[in-house]
Structure formats: structure tokens, C-alpha cells
Amino acid sequence: MPYKDPEKRKAYHKKYSADWNKNNRDKLNKSYKKYYDNSMSDEQKQKKIKASLEYSKLKFIELKRLVLLKYSEDRLVCKCCGESIYEFLTIDHVKGGGNQERKKRSAINFLKYLLQQPLDLTKYQVLCYNCNCFNKNKKEIICPHKRKELQ
């Protein structure tokens, strides 16, 4: 051991371990995989994967609900037509650019990003899927929901 002082020894060991881990990533990954493969039966692995997926779905649903509440000002309705069925509601990019946003972030990371950002209704709004799809095309000026009301 190069250091008798416990603090210096601890710092040296931490740096040495970090360097070793960085230079031997393949060995570590093989070791982790071997442990994982041997530690559980196939049935246990399937249960773990299923539980993980269920947890992810629930987390996504909760995040989506929080974002929709935030951007619909706690009303959970489509800004255009007033649709209130939660499963139909989506986040719309007011000025477009959603395609580029999807390339930068996954869906769950986008929701986390929206929760962290201050409320900006000039960039994002809550629309139902039908209104959102209609707004992408914008061939007509009046949304089909509003056109139906006018007739």
C-alpha cells in the first residue's frame, strides 16, 4: 500500500478502482452476466422481467397523467374539442417540431423533461389524438369538431 494515511489510501483506492473498471469494462460485463445467468432460474428471470415491465408501464402512465394535468391546467381536457377521456389525450407541440423532439428523447424522458420545465403553454398544449392529427395536416382552417358544431 503506497499510503499509510487512511484518507490518502482511500482516495488512491477510489481512483485505482475507477481506472481499473474503465479499462476492464468487458471483464466486468462478463462477470455480471455470468452471475445473473447463474443466480436465477428461467422462471424467476421471466417473473422479474414481467414485474419490471409492469412497473415501467405504471410509471409511464403516472408521468403522463402528471404532465397532462400540468399542461391542461388541472382539467384533463382537449383544448380544441373538450374530449376528456384520458387515454385519448396527448401533448401537442404548438409550433410543430415534435418529430425532432422524438429523435432527441424517449417518450418517458420527454415526459420527465416536461415535468421539470416551467409551464409554457406557448410551446405545448393538451389535445386529443384526433385534434392532434388534424393539426399536423392543417389543410383546413376549422377543426372537424368545430365544423360539426357550426353546421
d(CA 151, CA 138): 20
Examine residue 1 and state whether it is found in any structural domain, yes or no.
Answer: no
| 57 plus 122 within the same structural domain | yes
Q: What is the pTM of this model?
A: 0.64
Q: Extract the runs of DSSP E, i.e. beta strands, from the chain.
A: 89-93, 124-128
Structural domain includes residue 45: yes
pLDDT in tens, the chain (151 residues): 567 888 888 999 999 999 999 999 999 898 888 887 788 888 888 898 999 999 999 999 999 999 999 988 888 898 888 888 888 898 888 877 777 877 888 888 888 998 998 888 888 889 888 888 876 666 556 666 666 666 6
- 8 Å CB contact between 125 and 79: yes
At 83, the amino acid letter reads E
Q: Contact 111/60 with Cβ under 8 angstroms?
A: yes
Does the residue 2 lie in any domain? no
Cβ of 110: how many Cβ atoms within 10 Å? 17
Residue span of the structural domain in which 24 resides: 7-39
61 with 103, same domain: the answer is yes
Q: Are residues 33 and 71 located together in one domain of the fold?
A: no
The count of structural domains within the chain is 2
